[in-house]
Amino acid sequence: MSVPADAPILTSDAMREAEAACAVQGTSLSELMELAGAAVADTAWRMAAGAPILILCGPGNNGGDGYVAARLLATRGAAVRVAALSEPSTELAKAARAGWSGPVEAVDGRLAPAPLIVDALFGVGLSRPIADDLAAILGHFADRRILAVDVPSGIDSDGAADWMPPLRADVTLALGALKPAHVLLPTAPACGRVLLAPIGIAANKAMRTLPRVRETQPEATAHKFTRGMVLVFAGPMPGAAGLTAAAALRAGAGYVVLNGSERAPFSAIIAESDAKFGERLDDPRVGAVVIGPGFPAGDELLFDVEAALDSGKPLVLDAAAIDAALPRLSETPRKTILTPHEGEFARAFPQLYGSKIDRAKAAAARTQAVVVYKGADTVIAAPDGRLVAAWPGSPWLATAGTGDVLAGACGAMLARGGDAFDAAVAAVGWHIAQAARIGPGLVADDLIRD
Ligand SMILES: NC(=O)C1=CN([C@@H]2O[C@H](COP(=O)(O)OP(=O)(O)OC[C@H]3O[C@@H](n4cnc5c(N)ncnc54)[C@H](OP(=O)(O)O)[C@@H]3O)[C@@H](O)[C@H]2O)[C@H](O)CC1
Ligand SMILES: [K+]
C-alpha cells in the first residue's frame, strides 16, 4: 500500500470544478477521457505483461475510460475483452463505446475471468452501495490481479460513507488527483498501490498527501536557542512527558525544559520538579509549550492550560489539555497545534459529520488551530483549509507512547518559528520516517533513541 507523495486530493465536487475549468481553458472532456483511457491502457499493459485482460465497464464515464483503454490496448496487440453492466448512459461514454469494435459481454455469473481485471464500473459518480447480486458476481474475480480505474468500484470516493468494494485493487490509478477515499480508513487499504495519472487537470493542492521528508541541517551559525526552546509540562504520569521532552530534543529543538518532573530520559533535558510553570512561561526564549501528555482526562490541568493560553506562546495541546483549552481557543488566535486521537476528537467535537477530512477541517476552522487528527490515517488540517493526509503512515506506530513522541516533535517544529501547519506536517513526517527507520518491534522509546 502506498500513495504518491505531495499529490493533490480532490473531492468529487472539486473534481467536477477542475474538469469544468479545463473545458473553459480549451481541453474538452472527451480529450480528458482519451488521456485517462491512455493512462489506464499503459498501466494495464505493464501489469498484464502479455497475459489476457478483461475490462469491466459501467454506465458512466468511469466505464468510458474503460472502453477507451480497451481500444488502445487492442491497437497495441493486447488480448483484451470487454464486459459491460449496461449500455453507456453519458454522451462521452457512448462515444467511447462506439470506438470499441470488439464484442461486449455481459457482466453476469457466466462471465469468464482473465488474469488481469480492469475495474471501470464506477468512479466518483457512485451514489449508493453496489447491489448484492453485482457484488456476488464480482466476488468471483477477487483472486485475480485487479487494476481499479480512479477508485475501486463501490467505494464513496469522498470518504464519507464506509462502503467497501467487492473487489480490492492491487493497483488503483487515480485520475487527475487522489480522492479522499484513497487516503482514509476503512477504504484506503482496498486501493492497494495508488498511482496518479495527471491527465492535464490543474488540481488545487490545498489538500494533498504528505510531502517527502527533507533532512534539514541547522544553520552554520546556529546556537541552542536559535534552534528553538521547548517547554514541556509534566503531569501525574511523568514518563509520558519525558518521552515528549526527549522527542522534542531528538526532532531538533536546541533546548528542552521538562517542568514538573524530576527525571528525564536524556541528561541534556532540564528537568525542574520545583520550578513554577507560570514563571517558566514568562521566559522569552520559550518558543513552544507542550501540555497534555501524561494527564488523565479531567479538570486537573485546567489552571495550567489557562496559564499557557494567557502566555500567548505557541502551544501544542494533547489529550486532556485539548478539552481544557477548547472554550477559549478561537478567542485569540495564536499558533496552536491540537493532537487528538479518535476518542479525543470525538469527545472534543461530537457534532461534526462527514469524512475524517471534513471533520478535521471543520475542527480547525472552529478552533482556529491546526488539528492533527491522529490514527493510521492521520490528517493534518489548518484553519485556512489546507490539509495533508499522511496515509499509509507506519503500522509500527500503533503502540503506547507514540502519541507523546509526536506531541514533542510538534513542539520542536513549532519552536523554530514559522507556520504552525508546516510545523505539524514536518512533525508527522519526522514521526513516520523514524518509525520506518526502526520497523519491526518498535517501542515508543526507540523513536527518541539514536
Ligand atoms: N476527473 C476527470 O477529469 C475525468 C474523469 N473521468 C472519469 O469519470 C468518472 C466519473 O464519471 P461519472 O459519469 O460522473 O460517474 P461514474 O462513471 O462513476 O458512475 C455514474 C453512473 O453510475 C450509476 N450508479 C451510481 N451508483 C450506482 C450503483 N450503486 N449501482 C448501479 N449504478 C450506479 C449512475 O446512475 P444513477 O442511477 O446514479 O443516475 C451513473 O450512470 C471518474 O471517476 C473518472 O473515471 C473521465 O474520464 C473524464 C476525466
Ligand atoms: K472503478
Kindly state whether residues 157 and 112 are assigned to the same domain: yes
Kindly state whether residues 184 and 244 are assigned to the same domain: no
What cell numbers appear for 173 in the block? 490509478
Kindly state whether residues 336 and 302 are assigned to the same domain: yes
- Where would I find the beta strands (DSSP E) of 70-182? 80-84, 104-106, 116-120, 145-149, 171-175
Give me the domain span that covers residue 360.
Answer: 229-448
pLDDT by residue (tens digit) across 257-282? 999 998 898 999 999 988 789 999 99
Residue 212 inside a domain? The answer is no
Kindly state whether residues 168 and 248 are assigned to the same domain: no
Pairing between strand 370-373 and 80-84? Answer: unpaired
What per-residue confidence (pLDDT) applies to 276?
87
Local mean pLDDT, 10-residue blocks, the chain (450 residues): 96 93 88 97 98 98 98 98 97 98 97 98 97 96 97 98 96 98 98 96 93 85 88 90 96 95 91 88 96 83 93 96 93 91 96 97 97 97 98 94 97 96 97 95 91
The C-alpha angle 332, 336, 338, rounded to 5 degrees, equals 125
What per-residue confidence (pLDDT) applies to 23?
83
> Which atom of ligand 1 lies nearest, measured to the CA of 199?
3
Residue 6 inside a domain? The answer is no
Binding residues for K(+): 62, 119, 153
Is the ipTM value over 0.90, yes or no? yes
Kindly state whether residues 340 and 418 are assigned to the same domain: yes
Question: Which of 29, 62, 65, 91 to mutate for ligand 1's pocket (most ligand atoms within 8 Å of CB)?
Answer: 62
Residue 191 inside a domain? The answer is yes
What per-residue confidence (pLDDT) applies to 299?
66
Kindly state whether residues 233 and 320 are assigned to the same domain: yes
Cβ(271)–Cβ(261) under 8 Å?
A: yes
Strand order of the β-sheet with 336-338 is 207-209, 387-389, 379-381, 370-373, 336-338, 315-317, 286-291, 229-233, 255-259, 270-272
Question: What are φ and ψ of residue 242, in 5° steps?
Answer: -60, -45
**pTM (2 d.p.):** 0.96
CB-based pocket (< 6 A), ligand 1 = 15, 19, 29, 32-33, 36, 58-65, 89-90, 122-130, 149-150, 175-176, 199, 201
Residue 244 inside a domain? The answer is yes
Structurally, how many domains does the chain consist of? Answer: 2
Kindly state whether residues 197 and 239 are assigned to the same domain: no
CATH number at residue 291: 3.40.1190.20
CATH number at residue 51: 3.40.50.10260
Q: Return d(Cα 196, Cα 194) in angstroms, integer.
A: 7
Kindly state whether residues 201 and 274 are assigned to the same domain: no
Question: What are φ and ψ of residue 249, in 5° steps?
Answer: -65, -45
What per-residue confidence (pLDDT) applies to 274?
81
Residue 2 inside a domain? The answer is no
Question: Which residue, 205, 237, 262, sits at the end of a domain?
Answer: 205
Residue 223 inside a domain? The answer is no
Kindly state whether residues 155 and 244 are assigned to the same domain: no
Residue 405 inside a domain? The answer is yes
Dihedral angle, C-alpha 194, 198, 204, 210, nearest 10 °: 30
Residue 60 inside a domain? The answer is yes
Kindly state whether residues 329 and 234 are assigned to the same domain: yes
Kindly state whether residues 67 and 132 are assigned to the same domain: yes
Question: Which of 29, 61, 65, 134 to mutate for ligand 1's pocket (most ligand atoms within 8 Å of CB)?
Answer: 61
Kindly state whether residues 200 and 70 are assigned to the same domain: yes
